[in-house]
Amino acid sequence: MSASVLLVTGGAGFIGTNFVRAAVARGERVVVVDRLNYAAQEGNLAGLGAQVRLVARDLAAPGDDLVRLLVETRPRTIVHTAAETHVDRSIHDPEAFVASNLLGTFRLLEAARAYLAGLGEEERRRFRFLHVSTDEVYGARAPEDPPNREGDPYEPTSPYAATKAGSDHLARAWHKTYGLPVLVTNCTNNYGPYQHPEKFLPLMIYQALRGRPLPVYGDGRQVRDWLYVDDHVRALFRVLEGGTPGGTYHVSAGLGPTNLEVLELLCAILDRLRPRPEGSYRALVRHVADRPAHDRRYALESTRLQHELGWRPEESLAGGLEKTVRWYLSHEEWWCRATGEDFHRWLAAHYDAELVR
C-alpha cells in the first residue's frame, strides 16, 4: 500500500463504518484497526473489496505491532473513531471506558509519534491525526445558555464523557508537546445506518418493531442536537482537507428537539412505513427511571466549521430519520447479528423485565 492510505480506528463501528464506506466511494484505500467488540461488525465492511484491509486489534493492548503496522501501511492520515461510547454502559462498567478511551488513545498517539519520526519531510508535512470526539465533554447546558464554542471549559458528567474529555486533552497535548499534527472534532448525537441498537433511536425502532414498550428516561424533555451520520462524515473530510493542525472544530446541526419530540417523529414515520394493526406506535411510549446524572441539554455552535471550511448540514431531521428507519427495515440480517447474546444480556441488566420480555 502506498502513502495515500487512510488508517481508521474503530472502522467497523457506527461512525467508523460510515466514514470508511464514504472514503472507499471517494477512491481511498483504508486500513481499519478495530477490536471488533459487541458494537462492531466485520460484516459492516463487506463488499468493499481490496480497498479495505481489516486488522483486528485492541488499541489499549501494548505491543510494537501497532507501530509496525503504521510503518508497513504508511498512512497519510489516522482517523481515530475507536471508543467505548454508550453512556449507560459507562455507568455499569467505567473501567472498560478508561481502558479503551484513555489508554487506547494514548497508545495510538505514541505509535503515531514513533511512525512520524521515521517519515521524510514531505510525508511528515502532509500527515494528519484526526481525533473524533463528542459534545458530551462540555457537560449539560442550561436552557438559557448559548451553545458551546470551541475552547469552552470541559465539564464532563458521565464516565464516558470524562474519558472522552481526557482523550481530547491527550490528543492536544501530543500536538503541543511533540508537534503531532492533531485535529480534534466534537460532534453532537449521530444517527443513521449501522448504529448499535443499544442507542436511543435504533433501540426505539427495535422495540417498536417487536411491539414492546419504548423506554423514555425521566420526563423525556432532554435536548439533543441530532445530526445524520453522513453530515458528520462530510465534516470529517472537510476538517482533514482544510483544518489547521492543533485546531478544534465543532460539528452540529443546530437543532434542539426533546427526546419526546424525536420519538414522536419516529413513531409517525413507523406508522407510515410499517403500520401496526393495534394503532400508532405512540401508544408504546413508557416513562422509566432516569439515567443517573442525565445531562439535560447539549448544544454546540459549528460556525467555525461552517465559515472556515464551508461545511453545512444537508439532511433534515425528518429526512434523516426516514432514511434511518428505511435502512433498519431493510437490514434484518444486520439486526440479527447486532442483537445477539450480549445485547440481550445488556437489556436484561439495564431495563425492567416487562420492557424486554
Smallest gap from residue 244 Cβ to ligand DAU (A)? 24
159 binds ligand DAU (CB under 6 A): no
CA distance 117 to 120: 8
Mark the segment that binds ligand DAU (CB under 6 A) among 47-55, 61-69, 81-89, 333-341: 81-89
Q: How far apart are CA 341 and CA 348, in angstroms?
A: 11
Chain residue at closest Cβ approach to ligand DAU: 134
- d(C-alpha 219, C-alpha 171), whole Å: 37
134 binds ligand DAU (CB under 6 A): yes
- Residue 175 near ligand DAU by CB under 6 A: no
Count of alpha carbons within 13 Å of 11, Cβ hemisphere only? Answer: 26
Buried b (16+ CB within 10 A) or exposed e, 1-20: eeeebbbbbbbbbbbbbbbb
**Choice from 127, 298, 328, 346 touching ligand DAU (CB under 6 A):** 298
Of 135, 225, 230, 315, which is the active-site residue?
A: 135
Q: Scanning residues 234 to 273, which ones bind ligand DAU (CB under 6 A)?
A: 259
For the range 340-349, what are the long-range contacts, defined as Cβ-Cβ under 8 Å and sequence gap of 24 or more? 342/38, 343/38, 343/197, 343/198, 346/89, 346/198, 349/92
Of the residues 216, 253, 285, 299, which one makes contact with ligand DAU according to CB under 6 A: 216
Q: How far apart are CA 106 and CA 99, in angstroms?
A: 10
Does the active-site annotation cover 278?
no
Asked if 343 is part of the footprint of ligand DAU (rule: CB under 6 A), the reply reads no
Task: Count residues binding ligand DAU (CB under 6 A).
Answer: 19
Query: 135 catalytic, yes or no?
Result: yes
Active-site annotation holder among 115, 138, 160, 249: 160
**CB-based contacts of 150: which residues, under 8 Å, 6+ apart?**
186, 247, 248, 249, 250, 304
Specify whether the CB–CB gap between 90 and 163 falls below 8 A.
yes
Of the candidate residues 154, 178, 217, 335, the single one contacting ligand DAU (CB under 6 A): 217
Choices 16-24, 33-41, 71-79, 134-142; region in contact with ligand DAU by CB under 6 A: 134-142
Catalytic residue check, 160: yes
Cell of residue 1, nine digits: 500500500
Asked if 199 touches ligand DAU (CB under 6 A), the answer is yes
Catalytic residues: 135-136, 160
List contacts with ligand DAU (CB under 6 A). 85-87, 134-136, 188-189, 199-200, 203, 215-217, 222, 224, 259, 291, 298
